[in-house]
Chains A and B, each alone.
Chain A
Amino acid sequence: MSIKLMQGNDAIGWGAIAAGCRFYAGYPITPSTEVAEILSRELPKVGGKFIQMEDEIASMAAIIGASVGGLKSMTATSGPGFSLMQENIGYAAMTEIPCVIVDVQRLGPSTGQPTAASQGDVMQARWGTHGDHPIIALSPTSVRQAFDLTVKAFELSEKYRTPVILLTDEIIGHMREPVDLPDFKTIQLPEYRLTKKDGEYIPYRNEPGDVPPLANFGVGYRYHITALFHDQQGFSTQRVDEIDPWLERFNSKLDKHLDDILMLEEDRMPGAQLAILSYGASARTSRHAMKLARARGQKVDLMTLLTIWPFPEAQVEALGERVDRIIVPEMNLGQLAYEVERMVGRKKVKRVTRANGEMVTPQMVLDALEG
């Protein structure tokens, strides 16, 4: 393809098309609406379907329903809509139905500042729905990465039968950059589902493997899906001997494949005693600050997390063993910093926070490196 100027939200739309997404349901909300607009225009061209639902609760429900029906499905929203989606994100996690949720973070809490950027949904992406559950969240730092991580989100979602959250922000979503997208024909995701009947099917079997395949509705396996605790056949159960093996598989299925799921970029400098760790729009600030710091002679490492959840515990722990201090810039009051502190201890972490809709500046990071 040729180089095009586009914003992150456009790139997300194209990434969905490239990944084979053929159903989108959503509700208009700033600053994510462009994702819906581009997909309402592009999906019918490839035989896909778009619907604008009556609210975000329904949007989330509709993409799960369509996913069960066999279509790769996505929705996009922002803070308030993301809050409404939590109920059915939990449903998708519990029933292990693949789907992709784009959250273009805006300033909260509540209605907050619709056109201002934020990274305030980091913890909501992890714990927004009730109960313990596995979840994946990816966070792009550029327009091109918004495309790539959207494709990746679909792949991980199908492979591990889990909702995947593309946790981006208003800056990446609305920022325009020249990008050279790959030929979509070169992007072929494997088929992880059962699309025709072949032998017996145990929808929630606990072994072998960590992720039993999903059979699309209508292919001949008439089975039951419920978000109640269920046995291997999918029927609700209160028996602990049936619940426990399922719980064990469910809550460890991502942990067993971290090599495949965790993505991060490291820019190491020999002898560095300082490191900046960031993600999303704040990673851009951090990269700039790193260059300025190195130019004035400071030895600084940079770690950029593309996978936020599951949190890359081992990698951050190793970073903490290498350096004395980790600066964590983010556009909230220190949500990801909690996780970094959990791994390396509070004394090693310096938070650089801003939650007023403005970006963290390189100077704020430089000051923290000095302090």
Chain B
Amino acid sequence: MNDHIREAHGLEVDEGQLPAEDWFERSETLQKLRRNKKFPTIWCSGCGIGVVMGALIRAIDHLGLKNDDVALVAGIGCSARMPIYMDYNTLHTTHGRALAFATGLKIARPDMKVIAIMGDGDALAIGGNHFIHAARRNMGITAIVINNSIYGMTGGQYSPTTPLNSRATTAPYGNIEPPFPICDLAVAAGASYVARSTVYHALELDKFISEAISKDGFSMVEAVSYCHTTYGRINKLGTAADMMRALKDTSISQTAYGNLSPEEKTNNTKIVRGNFVNIDRPQYTNSYSSLITRIQGGEQ
């Protein structure tokens, strides 16, 4: 790993867990973008979503997957625009429904790697029901939830992950609703793989997304990001660089968290980054294939 990369990312995780240097160096990121699409992206300068896009491309690249075998399914929102720029089979669907579309696609093509890209409002408000049921079924889909705590595309309304007391255009006196803990929700609903990092920790995202895609069952990676254009402005949190830097200061690795005293854990307000669940249980399309084999074998 180049020193400047390590330094730039303020890496705190174990060296052994990080991608090898040559992975980063030989990443064919540019080749995996759609050159015939009009760049630049729709995202505001300084947005964190592009970091997640880079991480996703590097993860797919690292796993040696063929582009033809990868499908990206997205809903509606800033995050959901991501597949447009990437050279895979890409399906841009309706708001909140990415996982439901992905479910049908995965059942039709169990051999494909189906990846759903959603924002926090997309995945947890309008799509909350699909989110928990995809996890419960252990459908072989990787869900990437880019959590910027706000509805960015519509201009900064409060979302299911907007922190308590923060302001939004529809919470002018401060948000009185407590936020959803996305990873806890995925764990409780039965996901096989659950991890969280931030767009500041790009290489850690590479690693988690790579592990998630490798997982046979339902996997979910929460990529904590920010929206300096709406949330940041309303809450006076500074520039994109300020908000990016804050992710370093307001997050803590799972290892460091584990070393805290019980009292410190109770009082911890930092975002814990890490892999919280990695288990094996029957993946839906495998179970259905077994069912077909049984029934075609003559079972009544």
Contacts and interface: CB of A to CB of B under 8 A. Distances in A.
A45 B295 contact: yes
B235 interface: no
A91 interface: yes
A23 B108 CA distance: 8
Interface in A49-67: 49, 51, 53-55, 57-59, 61-67
A218 interface: yes
Nearest to A220: B68
B103 A58 contact: yes
Interface string B162-188: 000000000000000000000000000
A73 interface: yes
A158 to B, nearest CB: 15
Contacts of A228: 92
Contact of B93 (A23, A61, A67, A222): A61
Given A218-B71, A223-B89, A47 B104 contact: no
A91 B94 contact: yes
B100 A65 contact: yes
A222 B90 CA distance: 7
A133 to B, nearest CB: 14
Interface centre among B38, B107, B295 (most CB of A within 10 A): B107
Contact of A64 (B88, B89, B104): B104
Contacts of B69: 218
Interface residues of B, number: 40
A44 B100 contact: no
Nearest to A73: B104
Interface centre among A23, A25, A71, A218 (most CB of B within 10 A): A218
A362 interface: no
A223 B109 CA distance: 16
A227 B94 contact: yes
B24 interface: no
Contacts of A62: 100-101, 103-104, 107
B105 A233 contact: no
B288 interface: yes
A61 B51 CA distance: 29
Given A217-B109, A227-B92, A57 B100 contact: yes
Interface in B70-89: 71, 73, 83-84, 87-89
B71 A91 contact: no
B133 A236 contact: no
A213 B63 CA distance: 32
A236 B108 CA distance: 26
B133 A58 contact: yes
A65 B37 contact: no
A61 to B, nearest CB: 4
B292 interface: yes
A226 interface: yes
B101 A224 contact: no
A229 interface: no
A218 B68 contact: yes
B112 interface: yes
Interface centre among B90, B93, B100 (most CB of A within 10 A): B100
Given A49-B288, A65-B73, A225 B103 contact: no
B71 to A, nearest CB: 6
Given A218-B109, A225-B92, A65 B68 contact: no
Contact of A44 (B91, B97, B111, B296): B296
A36 B15 CA distance: 52
B291 interface: yes
B17 interface: no
Contact of A49 (B67, B87, B107): B107
B102 interface: yes
Contacts of B2: none
A127 to B, nearest CB: 18
B13 to A, nearest CB: 33
Nearest to B133: A54
Given A44-B291, A62-B103, A71 B108 contact: yes
Contacts of B107: 23, 49, 51, 62, 66, 69
A317 interface: no
Interface string A242-266: 0000000000000000000000000
A73 B111 CA distance: 19
Given A58-B97, A69-B109, A233-B36, A225 B102 contact: no
Given A218-B71, A235-B37, A235-B84, A23 B109 contact: no
Contacts of A65: 73, 91, 100-106, 108
Given A64-B104, A67-B104, A87-B94, 12 more contacts: A23-B107, A25-B103, A44-B291, A49-B107, A54-B100, A58-B103, A61-B104, A62-B101, A65-B100, A217-B71, A235-B37, A235-B84
Interface of B: 34, 36-38, 67-69, 71, 73, 83-84, 87-94, 97, 100-109, 111-112, 129-130, 133, 288, 291-292, 295-296
**Which 8 A/B pairs are nearest by Cβ-Cβ distance?**
A69-B108, A65-B104, A62-B104, A61-B100, A66-B104, A58-B100, A226-B92, A65-B105
30 contacts: A44-B292, A51-B107, A54-B129, A54-B130, A57-B100, A58-B97, A58-B100, A61-B94, A61-B104, A64-B101, A64-B104, A65-B102, A65-B103, A65-B104, A65-B108, A67-B108, A68-B104, A71-B108, A88-B94, A91-B94, A218-B71, A223-B89, A224-B34, A224-B84, A224-B90, A225-B91, A227-B92, A228-B92, A233-B36, A235-B38
Interface of A: 23, 25, 44-45, 47, 49, 51, 53-55, 57-59, 61-71, 73, 87-88, 91, 217-220, 222-228, 233, 235-236
